[in-house]
Structure 1
Amino acid sequence: MTAVSPDARAIWRAARAPLAITALVLLGGIVLALATGGTSRGELDPESAAPTGSRALAALLRNQGVDVVVAATFDDALAAAPGSTVLVTAGGTVRPERLADLRDRAAESVLIAPGQPALDRVLPAVRTYGGPDAAVHAPNCSLPAAAAAGDALTGGQRFLADSRVTTCYGGSVASVRDAHPATLLGDGVALTNQHLGENGNAALAMRLLGARPRLVWYLPVPGDPAFAEGRETITGLLPDGWVFGGVQLAVAAVVFALWRARRLGPVVTEPLPVVVRAAETTEGRARLYRRSGAAGHAAAILREAAVARLATALSMSGDAGPAAVIAAVSVRSGLTAAEISQLLYGEGVRGDADLVRLADDLDALEERIRRS
């Protein structure tokens, strides 16, 4: 008997190519994550040099003597807030009650896209609604920082308020000057590396964030106790490099599956270890017929085989019809046509006894034909 099961060497030869591809993809994802980890930290990150980061603005503020403190958690921001300007880069992701505590502790607050639940706790007189994409707007207000900066790139959320709140740039900037001054920005596009040098974006950002000796730059992230419930997502918790690596692995798996699906190869034949005698096959089939009660089907097979042998013995063609067979057998055997018709083409049998009787009668008929 020929062995067809693969051995360890065959398995290794078949698996080494996909294993090498997987290792290369993993290595590429790790290298990419390490290479981009220092420059693609996140949107409005003061340590990120990516287009959506804010390293350029943080550098300008430090050059003007402002102490920029990056707060990784809400507790860090709250501890550094007294006497400082506090920038919250994603106000809508902080629990409203914690955001109110932060504003009460800070000397001045700048909130980007705070959302209505946060405004209900921090500035109840202000309502917000979605606005168009960022575009260049004129200030059209009396806010000193906006008037000095001139046209700037603003958009995102828009704010509605009473006369106690100053709105600028088509409503995408709002400011309230009370015991704890606060400024609301519809989005932070003007603070990013990509757009800081355009129009009056840098002047507006410097005046809003550099009015005090210290700026607390708070970046809310998932895992922070102050992070709003229901906003954590699996993809948000994963670094960008890992997400990209996972997509690469999925694509590689699909390509590998398609590649291997076209390499099924020819059918492998295997010699039988023993020879099965024809008699054993016949007996096995007979037992199956008896077990299933198929006496009628067995009788039809016996009659068909007997007719074929009789036709050969009488030198008849294989396509001879029942009438011709009956006539020829009747002449040679001496039996009547009715007897031959009933024996070769009659009704089905009702049980094993009738089947045995039919087999004996067919054998007797064939023996008579051979002797005649």
Structure 2
Amino acid sequence: MNNPTGTTGTTGTADTTGTSGARAANPADAGLAAAPVTGSTSVSPTTASLWRGGRGVILVALIVVAAAVAGVLLGGAGGPDRRLDPDDTSLSGAGALARLLEGRGVRITRVTSAADARAAATAGSTLLVTDDFPLTAADASRLAGAPADLLLVGAGRRLRTLAPGLLATGEARPRSREPRCALPAAAAAGTAHLGGTTFAVPRGGTGCYPAGDDSTLVAYRDGDRTVTAVGDGDFMTNLRLAEDGDAALAMNLAGARPTLVWLVPPPPGEAPAASGEQGLYDLVPPGVRWAAAQLALAVVLLALWRGRRLGPVVAERLPVVVRAAETAEGRARLYRARRARDRAAAALREGFADRVVPRLGLPSAAGPDARVSALAERTGQPAPQVASALYGPPPADDAGLVALAAYLDILERQVRDS
């Protein structure tokens, strides 16, 4: 390659090549490395950062505490649920109804297990089963064979087993309803507070206190016994017994026979007596199920908290600030040590094109012919010489590389000054 300037030497090879090569190859890196440090960045935690880091833990703790408080409140401060219990005088109990029945001469047998209920439910008695009792499949099968009349309060967990001819169809809002039927127990009582589960009237049965097309009280014959089902037992409680004809209806249904076998849930902590084969779920205490549900909720919330998206990128100070000149010189020495004149020349030409082509008014995709013609016209240099400098073969030695760098500098100054 011709040496346009005639400059030779080895001392300036690394400096000239390094400076021009670094400026041409990676000016952004050089500018970044040369940026001065204007101040220090504090790494001490701030109030905002502490809140962002701890708000998830606080939220999970508050939810767990709220769930525990709700469990205590809904559980009646840890007391047993004695709804429709003949020995309970609270608003949800049925102590008042039991005293009225005893005053009429009805003998009440209170039992807490299906086995005892089956033994006491003989012919000529009434067996009262509420939906609060945790019946197993074996319990329901045993009670279904009892000869006593059956009074079901609520839909019940084993309705299909206890009363095969009865079908629950839906729910109705509890309110005062007219009987609208010929059943003596309902017709004599009149208006009563009923609702809850609704039933389809079986063939040969009687439906009372209608809710839409279905009834909230149904009575029918099942062999030698009478099966009566009511959708909700609120009318029997101490709270509702004095309203409308609730007391009359409750006494007519529960006091139809001289003996009433009243099945109630066992006290908390006492498992119901086994009356047959039980499943694993039947053996789990209710408190354990509630604790498992709380634990599952806590695990889900913890997973959502820990699985949140990453925060913003944190700016970090560089451990060492290297001057741009040192970086350029180090790269030039690497090129020289490896005799990578081809890479050094390519870097010089690429950097020259990136800086000069926009000044010529050419697009970045302009071809070699357009670039050479524009440069020759702007600088007055011979087109063959410009083409050789931009697209010729790599220099054969260090002197040729220095000459190429010098010639490209001349072209750039001419373009910039024109």
Q: TM-score range by the shorter chain?
A: 0.5 to 0.7
Q: 1:147 corresponds to which residue? A: 187
Counterpart CA distance in 1 for 2:187 and 2:410 is 126
Unaligned 5+ runs, structure 2: 1-39, 362-370, 413-418
Q: Is the 8 A contact 2:84 2:236 kept in 1?
A: no
Alpha-carbon shift at residue 239 of structure 1 (Å): 7.3
Instruction: Indicate whether 1:159 and 2:201 are aligned.
Output: yes
Counterpart CA distance in 1 for 2:330 and 2:115 is 85
Higher relative contact order (CA 8 A, sep 6+): 2
Instruction: Report the CA distance shift for 1:180/1:285 in structure 2 as closer, same or farther (over 3 A).
Output: farther
Q: Is the 8 A contact 1:82 1:107 kept in 2?
A: yes
- State the SS of the aligned residue for 1:105: coil
Q: Is the 8 A contact 1:306 1:362 kept in 2?
A: no
Q: Is the 8 A contact 1:87 1:209 kept in 2?
A: yes
Instruction: Report the CA distance shift for 1:245/1:68 in structure 2 as closer, same or farther (over 3 A).
Output: farther
Instruction: Report the CA distance shift for 1:33/1:359 in structure 2 as closer, same or farther (over 3 A).
Output: same
Counterpart CA distance in 1 for 2:234 and 2:149 is 21
Alpha-carbon shift at residue 244 of structure 1 (Å): 8.8
Q: Deviations over 1:144-165 (max 9, x none)?
A: x323322334451132222xx4
Q: 2:252 corresponds to which residue? A: 207
Q: Is the 8 A contact 1:61 1:68 kept in 2?
A: no
Q: 2:376 corresponds to which residue? A: 326
Q: 1:60 corresponds to which residue? A: 97
Alpha-carbon shift at residue 273 of structure 1 (Å): 3.5
Q: Deviations over 1:162-192 (max 9, x none)?
A: 2xx4544455321438644432224435335
Q: Which amino acid aligns with 1:128?
A: L
Q: Which amino acid aligns with 1:99?
A: A
Q: 1:275 corresponds to which residue? A: 322
Alpha-carbon shift at residue 28 of structure 1 (Å): 4.4
- State the SS of the aligned residue for 2:145: helix
Counterpart CA distance in 1 for 2:396 and 2:315 is 46
Instruction: Indicate whether 1:130 and 2:176 are aligned.
Output: no
TM-score (norm 1): 0.59
Counterpart CA distance in 2 for 1:193 and 1:329 is 109
After superposition, residues 12-51 of structure 1 pair within 5 angstroms as 23=61, 25-38=63-76, 44-46=83-85
Counterpart CA distance in 2 for 1:81 and 1:304 is 104
Q: Deviations over 1:294-318 (max 9, x none)?
A: 999746415437969xxxxxxxxx9
TM-score (norm 2): 0.54
Q: Is the 8 A contact 1:90 1:114 kept in 2?
A: yes
After superposition, residues 282-301 of structure 1 pair within 5 angstroms as 282=331, 298=347, 300-301=349-350
- State the SS of the aligned residue for 2:353: helix
Instruction: Identify which of 82, 102, 105 aligns with 2:143.
Output: 102
Instruction: Report the CA distance shift for 1:67/1:357 in structure 2 as closer, same or farther (over 3 A).
Output: farther
Counterpart CA distance in 1 for 2:83 and 2:178 is 21
Counterpart CA distance in 1 for 2:334 and 2:118 is 88
Q: Which amino acid aligns with 2:246?
A: N
Counterpart CA distance in 1 for 2:292 and 2:302 is 15
- State the SS of the aligned residue for 1:69: strand
- State the SS of the aligned residue for 2:201: strand
Q: Identity over the aligned pairs, expressed in percent?
A: 23
- State the SS of the aligned residue for 2:322: coil
Alpha-carbon shift at residue 61 of structure 1 (Å): 0.9
Instruction: Report the CA distance shift for 1:198/1:356 in structure 2 as closer, same or farther (over 3 A).
Output: farther
Instruction: Identify which of 72, 75, 89 aligns with 2:130.
Output: 89
Q: 2:15 corresponds to which residue? A: none
Q: Is the 8 A contact 2:133 2:263 kept in 1?
A: no
Instruction: Report the CA distance shift for 1:167/1:278 in structure 2 as closer, same or farther (over 3 A).
Output: closer
Counterpart CA distance in 1 for 2:406 and 2:378 is 16
- Equivalent pairs counted in the alignment come to 331
**Cα RMSD (Å):** 6.0
- State the SS of the aligned residue for 2:181: coil
Counterpart CA distance in 2 for 1:237 and 1:138 is 40
After superposition, residues 241-252 of structure 1 pair within 5 angstroms as none
Q: Is the 8 A contact 2:220 2:227 kept in 1?
A: yes
- State the SS of the aligned residue for 2:219: strand
Instruction: Identify which of 386, 401, 418 aligns with 1:340.
Output: 386
Q: Which amino acid aligns with 1:338?
A: P
Q: 2:227 corresponds to which residue? A: 182
Q: Is the 8 A contact 2:111 2:263 kept in 1?
A: yes
